[in-house]
Amino acid sequence: MQFYNIKDENEQVTFSDAITKGIGTAGGLYFPHSLPHFDDMQALLNKDFVTRSAHIVSTMLGDEMPTGVIGRCIKSAFNFPIQLKQISDTIFALELFHGPTLAFKDFGARFMAQMLAEINKNSTNQKPIRIITATSGDTGAAVAHSFYGVPNLEVAILYPYQRISDLQEKMFCTMGGNIHTFAVKGDFDACQALVKQCLQDKDLTNRYRLNSANSINISRVLAQSLYYFEAVAQMGRECHAISVPSGNFGNLTAGLFARQMGLPVQSFIAATNTNDTVPRYLESGNWAPNDTIATLSNAMDVSQPNNWPRVEEIFARNNENLHDVVRGVSVFEAETKHAMRELKDLGYLADPHSAIAYKALKDTLKPSESGVFLCTAHPAKFKQSVEDIVGIDVPLPSEIAAVADKPVLSAVIENDFEVLKTNLLACL
Ligand SMILES: Cc1ncc(COP(=O)(O)O)c(C=O)c1O
């Protein structure tokens, strides 16, 4: 499978290169030249999730990796369930938070870790591998758990200081070992910009094979496209819309890739919180990011979404109108709380991110239509706000209870590249 750099089409790489480099020259994102198209969709949907996913990835990669190896990687990466729950006559919730860190990020991070391990077995490059990633809350834990204890590999994770939930922080900042965490005095966009600067920095890249585990890395996005097939398979009826709670827009990109591969979904809803750069852009045609505002759905507090150029690229290449397929909806704080209470009355406990997707779907579906909203995090990750808003106790799952009382080991640093670099050179 070949990829090109969106900023320079002459830069062509294989899947192995795209996953190990993370990002192209001049910070350009890698984009697949072509994705397979599955004509017999029903046969594909009839397979179980792991078998279907292995088949899709093998078809994507062709002879770049043996089918048996891909099957083994997928089986180890996706060793937890995906559940579709019916909320009303026409609305379904796809729960993507049954992995080890209780958020949908487990799919991409675990797939990436498996694939990288396989690719590195055959690599002759002697430079040490270092992973550097920015998180708005959930990627950090998924990446930390996927790479914890891997020999000769160190991981640095940057997150916005005091802008993630306490329990999100506990899930990756208490591990130690090869996981180094930095609380940056800035927002997620600042963390992401620092990571990109590291990936272009000569001192760091001469010394290490630096890689990002953000959704900048195309492997994560390809892995996420696989659960969209599962949504439609479990739904067993026509899917008019999938509502995606969006921040950096990796998840929406993944859904659009699935559609490109033939998945029958009529439209996608890009559901954001108050940080609504994309819904405003879809409405006005002006790209005008505001300062990032802290909200209840902190993992979506992003005003300069990195994956948006990929979304534009999908439609430019297919000669299709983005507005025919993607609709932007922003949901404000009071509406989010209201949606959480409404879901509770329907017998469903949702975290704020998932509630935003629900609200956007409900407001968009016509009476005769059915759709799915993605539940991206377990409500217990946002225990405090969920309890305050819906007024019931949220028990801690064992994954969180095990770390809830551990001390946070992060270094708090200024939003300054040189400060970060000094710290990285000391610990990586
Ligand atoms: C719980 C949750 N929901 C939604 C999102 C947004 O996903 P994306 O950044 O792929 O748009 C994130 C991202 O961090 C998240 O952690």
Question: What does the mean pLDDT of the chain come to?
Answer: 96
The pTM for the full model equals: 0.95
Task: Tell which one of 222, 353, 354 to mutate to probe ligand 1, the residue whose CB is within 8 A of the most ligand atoms.
Answer: 353
Q: How confident is the model at residue 225 (pLDDT cuts 50, 70, 90)?
A: very high
Q: How confident is the model at residue 418 (pLDDT cuts 50, 70, 90)?
A: very high
Cα–Cα distance between 103 and 314 in angstroms, integer?
26
pLDDT tens-place string over residues 162-221 = 999 999 999 999 999 999 999 999 999 999 999 999 998 999 999 999 998 988 899 999
**Residue 137 near ligand 1, beta carbon < 6 Å:** yes
pLDDT tens-place string over residues 291-301 = 999 999 999 99
Residue 295: count of CB within 10 angstroms of its CB? 21
pLDDT attached to residue 428: 86
**Residue 277 near ligand 1, beta carbon < 6 Å:** no
Cα–Cα distance between 174 and 111 in angstroms, integer?
23
Residue 4's H or E segment, with its range, is strand 2-5
Distance 214 CA to ligand 1 centre (A): 11
Distance 141 CA to ligand 1 centre (A): 13
pLDDT tens-place string over residues 362-412 = 999 999 999 999 999 999 999 999 999 999 999 999 999 999 999 999 999
Residue 344's H or E segment, with its range, is helix 333-345
Quickly tell me which residue has 């507005």 as its tokens: 323
Task: Tell which one of 101, 136, 359 to mutate to probe ligand 1, the residue whose CB is within 8 A of the most ligand atoms.
Answer: 136
Confirm if 111 and 80 have CB atoms less than 8 A apart. no
Confirm if 355 and 91 have CB atoms less than 8 A apart. no
**Residue 215 near ligand 1, beta carbon < 6 Å:** yes
Supply the DSSP symbol for 299.
Answer: G
**Assigned CATH class of 81-104+218-394:** alpha beta
Task: For residue 172, give the nearest of 137, 218, 198 by alpha carbon.
Answer: 137
pLDDT attached to residue 124: 82
**Residue 133 near ligand 1, beta carbon < 6 Å:** no
pLDDT tens-place string over residues 103-133 = 999 999 999 999 999 998 878 887 888 999 9
Confirm if 260 and 319 have CB atoms less than 8 A apart. no
pLDDT attached to residue 121: 85
Domain ranges of the chain: 81-104+218-394
**Residue 101 near ligand 1, beta carbon < 6 Å:** no
pLDDT tens-place string over residues 255-290 = 999 999 999 999 999 999 999 999 999 999 999 999
Distance 125 CA to ligand 1 centre (A): 33
As a dihedral over the C-alpha atoms of residue 285, residue 290, residue 293, residue 299, rounded to 10 degrees, the angle is 50
